[in-house]
Structures are given as C-alpha cells and as structure tokens.
C-alpha cells in the first residue's frame, strides 16, 4: 500500500471520488463521530470499496475512548481488510485489539486472523517510549504509522507544514521507522496538507527515508504519493 486515502464515513461524494482515485487503499474514517449513522455509513463504504476491488480499512476510535467495541461490532460484519488503530500505546494495545478481532471474526464466520492491523503508534510521548514492543505484538500487523499533528499538539509544538519540522517531531518520525524495521512491517508516513510541488517533495523524502507509503487526504495527493514511491522503487 503506497497511498492510503482517508475517507470520512458520512461523505458519499468523498467515497465516490475515492473509488475513482488511484489510491491503493481506502481508510474509512468514523473515528471522528460517535453515532449509529457514522458506523452504518462506514459499513456501507467498506462494502462498496470491496466491491470495487479496493483494499478497505476501518479507522476506529482509540481503545482508551471506550468507543472501539461499538465500532468493531458494526464494522466487522462488513469484513474489512484491516483495522487502523489510532493513538496506540505499544504492543499491549495491539494485542488487546487482536483479541477483540478474534472474537468478532468467530461471531461473523470470518477466518481467524483475516482482519489485519495498521497501528498509529507514535501519537503521544508515552507511545514513543513503547515503540520497541511493537515487534513482539501480533502476526496481524501490516503497518506502523503515526499522527504527527496529534503528537505536536500534545507536545505544545507548532507543527510547521512542509520540510521544516521541530526537532522532537523529526526524532519521533525516525523512531517510527526504526520500530517498523524491527517489526518487519511497512512504515506509513503521516497525512499532511498541501498539493503540488511541495507535497510531491514531501512524498519523495518519505520514500527516500524508508517509508513504504503515506496517508492521503485527497485523490490528488494519492496520485502524487503513488508517483513518488513508484519512482523510488525504480531508482532503488
């Protein structure tokens, strides 16, 4: 997965644009809303994506929110390709999610281990110190990413767009790369605003530094991400 396009669960136009995009995978996001409509919308979107031949992952609420169980109850009936777990703190959160998935796979007649996990594991200071535990977490792991804006907010930093980042954010970025390499899982770079040459340069830097893919917020970004990572593969 080079490009993972984030799609709000309640936006039908966004889904239609995503299905027509070059994105390798869709991240159906209902973590921003806690209601039955959002969960039902996510289920419909996952089914539509699967029917269109797109890899579909569900971005649920963090485990600590108390909302993840209801998210999983709804979304596992649609048999997503994977679950994106935000704001995770180390291997214990991944193992906890894995146990929840195993129960729901059995309840829905799905093969054990069919739902994979892409974890956002560098979103807090506590999570940074637990990155080493990811390598022993679970066979379900298919990627390690991060939410740089959330980490910047928690550190009280102004996250500058573009290449000029505060030093703590650059350190966290590198540590996530090390964690992914130790876990033998792809590292997925965070979503960032922008289009055009600036965004293309950020994608090229991510590919150069060892990331396997990047989150996108628009179809245009997904196209730029695919081009940057394809170029890196050709020149490697």
The pLDDT of residue 190: 95
In contact, 88 and 60? CB cutoff 8 Å: no
Mean pLDDT on 64-77: 93
Q: Quick check: 171 pLDDT over 60?
A: yes
Comparing 49-53, 83-87, 104-108, 157-161, which segment has the lowest mean pLDDT?
157-161
Which residues have a Cβ under 8 Å from the Cβ of 129 and sit 6 or more positions away? Answer: none
Q: Quick check: 11 pLDDT over 60?
A: yes
Distance CA 81, CA 76 (A): 10
How does pLDDT run across 106-116, given as a tens digit for each residue? 999 999 999 99
Q: CB neighbours (10 Å) of residue 80?
A: 27
CA–centroid distance for 188 within its chain: 7
Q: CB neighbours (10 Å) of residue 47?
A: 15
Mean pLDDT on 31-46: 82
Q: Quick check: 178 pLDDT over 80?
A: yes
> Which domains can be identified in the chain, with CATH numbers?
3-235 (3.20.20.60)
In the chain, the percentage of residues whose pLDDT exceeds 90 is 78
Q: Quick check: 235 pLDDT over 60?
A: no
The pLDDT of residue 61: 94
In contact, 76 and 45? CB cutoff 8 Å: no
Q: CB neighbours (10 Å) of residue 66?
A: 10
Burial of 196 (0-12, 13-18, 19+ CB in 10 A): exposed
Distance CA 135, CA 110 (A): 26
Which residues have a Cβ under 8 Å from the Cβ of 229 and sit 6 or more positions away? Answer: 2, 3, 203, 207, 212, 213, 214
The pLDDT of residue 33: 73
The pLDDT of residue 165: 86
Mean pLDDT on 36-60: 90
The pLDDT of residue 236: 46
The pLDDT of residue 57: 96
**Which tokens belong to 202?**
């950020």
Distance CA 41, CA 231 (A): 36
Q: Quick check: 197 pLDDT over 70?
A: yes
Comparing 17-21, 28-32, 171-175, which segment has the lowest mean pLDDT?
28-32
The pLDDT of residue 195: 87
Q: Quick check: 5 pLDDT over 70?
A: yes
Query: Rounded to two decimals, what is the model's pTM?
Result: 0.92
């Amino acid at each position: 997965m080079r490009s993972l396009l984030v799609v709000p669960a309640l936006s039908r136009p966004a889904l239609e644009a995503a299905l027509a995009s070059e994105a390798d995978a869709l991240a159906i996001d209902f973590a921003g809303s806690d209601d039955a409509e959002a969960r039902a919308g996510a289920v419909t979107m996952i089914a539509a994506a699967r029917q269109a031949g797109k890899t579909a992952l569900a971005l649920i609420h963090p485990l600590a929110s108390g909302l993840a169980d209801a998210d999983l109850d709804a979304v596992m009936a649609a048999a997503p390709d994977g679950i994106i777990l935000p704001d995770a703190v180390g291997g214990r959160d991944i193992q906890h999610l894995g146990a929840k998935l195993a129960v729901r796979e059995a309840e829905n007649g799905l093969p054990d281990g069919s739902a994979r996990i892409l974890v956002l594991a560098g979103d807090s200071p506590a999570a940074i110190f637990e990155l080493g535990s990811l390598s022993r977490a679970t066979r379900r792991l298919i990627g390690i990413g991060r939410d740089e804006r959330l980490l910047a907010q928690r550190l009280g930093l102004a996250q500058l767009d573009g290449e000029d980042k505060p030093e703590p954010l650059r350190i966290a970025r590198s540590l996530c790369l090390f964690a992914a390499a130790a876990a033998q899982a792809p590292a997925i770079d965070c979503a960032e605003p922008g289009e055009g040459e600036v965004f293309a340069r950020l994608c090229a830097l991510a590919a150069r530094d060892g990331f396997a893919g990047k989150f996108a917020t628009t179809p245009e970004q997904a196209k730029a991400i695919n081009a940057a990572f394809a170029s890196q593969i050709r020149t490697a």
